[in-house]
Amino acid sequence: MRQSEEDREKLGAPPAHDSYLTDGTTVMSWLNTRDHKRVGVMFLAAVVFFLFLGGVFALAIRMKLLYPGPFLFDALTYNRLFTLHGVTMIFLFMIPAIPSAFGNFVLPLMIGARDVAFPRLNLASFYVYLAGAVLAIWAMVHGGADTGWTFYTPYSTTTPTMLFPLLLGVFVLGFSSIMTGINFIVTVHTLRAPGVGWMRLPLFVWSIYATSIIQVLATPVLGLTVLLVALERVLQFGIFDPARGGDPVLFQHFFWFYSHPAVYIMVLPGMAVISECVATFSRKNPFGYKAIAFSSLGIAFVGFFTWGHHLFVAGQSVFDNGVFGVLSMFVGIFTAVKVFNWVGTMYRGAISFKTPFAYICGFLFFLVFGGMTGVALATVALDVHWHDTYFVVAHFHFIMVGAVIMAFLAALHYWFPKMFGRTYHEGWGLVAASLIILGFNATFIPQFLLGNNGMPRRYYQYPEHFQALNVASTAGATLLGFGFVIIFIYLLIALRWGPRCEQNPWRSKGFEWLTESPPPTHNFDRIPHITQDPHDYRTHAPSGVYADV
Amino acid sequence: MSEAAALPPGEHPARGADPHLAHHFSSLERQVDASRLGMWLFLCTEVLLFAGLFTGYAVYRYSFPIAFAASARTSEIWAGTLNTVVLITSSLTVALAIHFVRTGRQRAAVVCLLITLAFALTFLGIKAIEYTAHFHEHQLPGRYYRFEGVRLPGASMYWALYFLMTGLHGLHVLIGMSVLGVIAWRTSRGYYTPHYYVGIELAGLYWHLVDLIWIFLFPLLYLI
């Protein structure tokens, strides 16, 4: 507390006044806001809802898989559930989760800007997201689809389920993603405060910038692809229909040209969060700042040339398989660069083991194991054995649930005081973190074993000798669910009754902590002049001073 | 992208002078740079949207070279050529409109924008005549293909791509027309000045992209 008051005096800032939360409390003041912080909070509420929805679908799937034979619901319902689980988690939760919720909130603060470059476009992005979500929900309520989230042709062009509105929903959600991406790239280029050069950008900003490039360049191709499938269903143009000379594998190329980079749209923001949290909770300057920054761009770049590893058994040539396999392994190199640098940042740091740090540990474990199994899967000969088995399911859940959810929860706990000016119960935080990390391992490690033993993914029934591992997996998923419920309860309590915190409860030297918590509507009374690198813990001086601009 | 929001406390009073300057930008130049960069990024997404269809064209042209060449010869080449001339000329009139706004001749700019809109309408009119002829001859995609002139496997795929590519392009012409309409109305109301004309510039960029995509579509669908 004392330090933050000193900071404030040194910075010559005026006393605390209305925060963005109290500046207008009517519903309309939120729905019609141009404030990037309010848009971020609205996105956060929406993605948490869809995390819950996707989680319920996942638990339903796991409950069915307790028994090898028919149980609880029929095979068609099972197919619908895993499709809705995938679509909800990927398009409605994971892609917008960190960039649109936390990125929106902290990115302008981190570069000393008053808002994103296009505030109206930012709000539009939220409403376009809602429109896409409504279409998707409408499809779910009217029977859902049974193709899996990958919409593979020719099944997707012939299934009688409600695929059309779901495809339209995905198409519309793509626009929201593009809008956010364009906004962030332009914001980083044009709204950096004095003193924030490119080599002084917080690592969070670097990773989000790389993510935005993928969002802008890959999403249009997905838009076109789902549009083609939708048209194919209605008009039967024959683009993907072999009977009319079309090629269903072309669909797979189109689809994965977006959907593999989309994995990096999901995981790069996670890496962004971890880069910030590692420095803060180790009280040490980021080790290998440039290596972490440029490896983000490296992943964004290489990510565009790896899609073929989804087509190893789809009749691709042996040469293509080899090339795509090797290119995919480059992602492993860039990821390893980051992992070693994070660990290097922790080394001999003054670590404070708070809840976000627990999630950092979980993140590193899941990212390393998910990443290594990914390199194994990029090896063609091994992939032929594991393709479309639970091994693949476990691998991408390690990255996309393990790593991304850990980073999401780390961000939620790390920036909770920044966003709402209150603190949560640290003890419960650690309890929930342990439950989640434990539950997650219990859910997905058995799935690695199941897949290696030959259990295919997306099957309604399985041979009886797989039951023990399936029961273990379901038990883990239940534990995971409990962890989320605990977090939800104590964060809701903290939101209403949590003790008010000081400006910078973590004593972080990230730039977003230079302003009050919660920040005032215009972020800074005067634009700060940044005088240090981000997370420079070698001095006690504040990272910036307020200058008249 | 401009909005005249209330000034935050402690803000420099001189900033209030320009109604185009948004509260979060330090100068109008910076704000205009941001708008331009945003537009170029948006144009990138448009290029990638069409890139999927161009890829599809390349793949199926490679699979059915003879059917594609034969089908392209039955397209209305006079209409394609005329439309190319119409669109390139409309790009010139948009460029002239930007030039006139920059030199303070608002009325000439409005006239140029209206001529551009007329060209766009002409383009769509010619396209409609072409479409009608194709419907009449059953030169249609997929299962609707019943054209007697070319009976080769893959001919229906040519028409699928023809309608997808020209259809998506036509949709962009429509969007461009609405944007140019709004810009023309704003120009006639004196919204743009020789110091602030980024809106009309961005609309021009978009129109040039629509033009450019047609320049690729024309040889692929009519000439080769």
**Cβ separation of B3 and A34 shorter than 8 Å?**
yes
Q: How many angstroms away from the CA of A49 is the closest CA of chain B?
A: 29
> Which positions ≥6 away from A158 have C-beta within 8 Å?
none
Q: What are B187-203's pLDDT values in tens digits?
A: 999 889 888 899 999 99
Residue of B1, B44, B45, B46 to mutate when probing chain A, most A C-beta within 10 A? B45
Q: How many angstroms away from the CA of B15 is the closest CA of chain A?
A: 11
Which among A388, A492, A405, A485 is positioned nearest to A440, based on CA atoms?
Answer: A405
CA distance linking residue A343 with residue A522, whole number of Å: 36
Give the three-state DSSP class for A229.
Answer: helix
Return the structure tokens found at A78.
């099972």
Average pLDDT, chain B: 89
Place of tokens 């910038």: A209
Place of tokens 């040209």: A257
pLDDT at position B17, please? 61
Query: A111-125, A401-415, B16-30: which range is least confident on average?
Result: B16-30
Looking at the partner chain, which of A182, A241, A549 has a beta carbon nearest the beta carbon of B42? A182
Terminal CA-to-CA distance of chain B, rounded, Å?
A: 42
DSSP state of A88: I
CA distance linking residue A316 with residue A370, whole number of Å: 25
pLDDT at position A547, please? 59
Interface confidence, given as ipTM, is: 0.91
Average pLDDT, chain A: 91
Under 8 Å between Cβ of A47 and A101: yes
Angle between helices B106-137 and B198-218 (to 10 degrees): 30
Average pLDDT over every residue of A286-292: 94
C-alpha dihedral over A47, A48, A51, A52, to 10 degrees? -140
**Cβ separation of B3 and A225 shorter than 8 Å?**
no
Q: What are A261-276's pLDDT values in tens digits?
A: 999 999 999 999 999 9
Question: Over 50: is that where the pLDDT of B5 sits?
Answer: no
Q: What are A240-263's pLDDT values in tens digits?
A: 988 888 899 999 999 999 999 999
Average pLDDT over every residue of B56-69: 94
Question: Over 90: is that where the pLDDT of B88 sits?
Answer: yes
Return the structure tokens found at A28.
């309309």
Q: How many angstroms away from the CA of B108 is the closest CA of chain A?
A: 31
Q: With left for phi above 0 and alpha for psi between -120 and 50, is residue A12 left, alpha or beta?
A: left
**Cβ separation of B44 and A216 shorter than 8 Å?**
yes
pLDDT at position A393, please? 95
**Cβ separation of B141 and A245 shorter than 8 Å?**
no
CA distance linking residue A83 with residue A54, whole number of Å: 10
Which among A46, A27, A255 is positioned nearest to A137, based on CA atoms?
Answer: A46
Q: What are A307-361's pLDDT values in tens digits?
A: 999 999 998 899 999 999 999 999 999 999 999 999 999 999 999 999 999 999 9
Q: What are A428-481's pLDDT values in tens digits?
A: 999 999 999 999 999 999 999 999 999 999 999 999 999 999 999 999 999 999
Question: Over 80: is that where the pLDDT of B185 sits?
Answer: yes
**Cβ separation of B59 and A250 shorter than 8 Å?**
yes
Dump strand ranges (E) for A16-167.
none
Identify the helix (H) or strand (E) that includes residue A498. none
pLDDT at position A5, please? 47
Place of tokens 């990138």: B44
Looking at the partner chain, which of B3, B59, B157 has a beta carbon nearest the beta carbon of A238? B157
pLDDT at position A528, please? 87
pLDDT at position A125, please? 96
Q: What are A501-531's pLDDT values in tens digits?
A: 988 999 999 999 988 889 998 898 888 888 8
Q: Domain ranges in chain A? A: 2-12+28-546
CA dihedral (A377, A80, A406, A169) positive or negative: positive
Which among A475, A479, A478 is positioned nearest to A446, based on CA atoms?
Answer: A475
**Cβ separation of A228 and B160 shorter than 8 Å?**
no
Q: Which domains does chain B have, with CATH numbers?
A: 43-223 (1.20.120.80)
| A-chain residues near B27 (CB < 8 A) | none
Question: Over 70: is that where the pLDDT of A16 sits?
Answer: no
CA distance linking residue A457 with residue A61, whole number of Å: 12
Phi/psi of residue A400, nearest 5 degrees: -85, -30
DSSP state of A16: P
pLDDT at position B3, please? 38
pLDDT at position A439, please? 95
CA distance linking residue B26 with residue B12, whole number of Å: 10
Which among A14, A15, A32 is positioned nearest to A24, based on CA atoms?
Answer: A32
**Cβ separation of A527 and B42 shorter than 8 Å?**
no
Tell me whether residue B36 is exposed, middle or buried, using C-beta atoms within 10 angstroms of its C-beta: 0 to 12, 13 to 18, 19 or more: middle
Tell me whether residue A548 is exposed, middle or buried, using C-beta atoms within 10 angstroms of its C-beta: 0 to 12, 13 to 18, 19 or more: exposed
DSSP state of A162: S
Percent of chain A with pLDDT over 90: 78
| A-chain residues near B53 (CB < 8 A) | 224
| B-chain residues near A17 (CB < 8 A) | 9
| B-chain residues near A181 (CB < 8 A) | 41
Looking at the partner chain, which of B45, B142, B154 has a beta carbon nearest the beta carbon of A178? B45
Under 8 Å between Cβ of A206 and A291: no
DSSP state of B116: H
Residue of B7, B11, B23, B24 to mutate when probing chain A, most A C-beta within 10 A? B24
| B-chain residues near A527 (CB < 8 A) | 26
Looking at the partner chain, which of A120, A221, A245 has a beta carbon nearest the beta carbon of B63? A245
pLDDT at position A531, please? 87
CATH class of this structure's domain A2-12+28-546:
mainly alpha
**Cβ separation of B38 and A178 shorter than 8 Å?**
no
Residue of A196, A316, A522 to mutate when probing chain B, most B C-beta within 10 A? A522
pLDDT at position A110, please? 94
Q: What are A154-195's pLDDT values in tens digits?
A: 889 888 888 999 999 999 999 999 999 999 999 999 999 998
Under 8 Å between Cβ of B53 and B168: yes
**Cβ separation of B49 and A225 shorter than 8 Å?**
no
If you count residue pairs, one on A and one on B, with CB atoms under 8 Å apart, how many are there?
A: 129
The amino acid occupying position B189 is: R
Identify the helix (H) or strand (E) that includes residue A373. helix A355-377
Is 0.90 topped by the overall pTM?
A: yes
pLDDT at position A417, please? 95
**Cβ separation of B142 and A236 shorter than 8 Å?**
yes
CA distance linking residue A366 with residue A441, whole number of Å: 9
pLDDT at position A10, please? 46
Cis upstream peptide for A99 (omega within 30°): no
pLDDT at position A236, please? 86
Under 8 Å between Cβ of A231 and A281: no
Residues in a beta bridge with A530:
A544
**CA B24 remoteness from chain centre:** 31
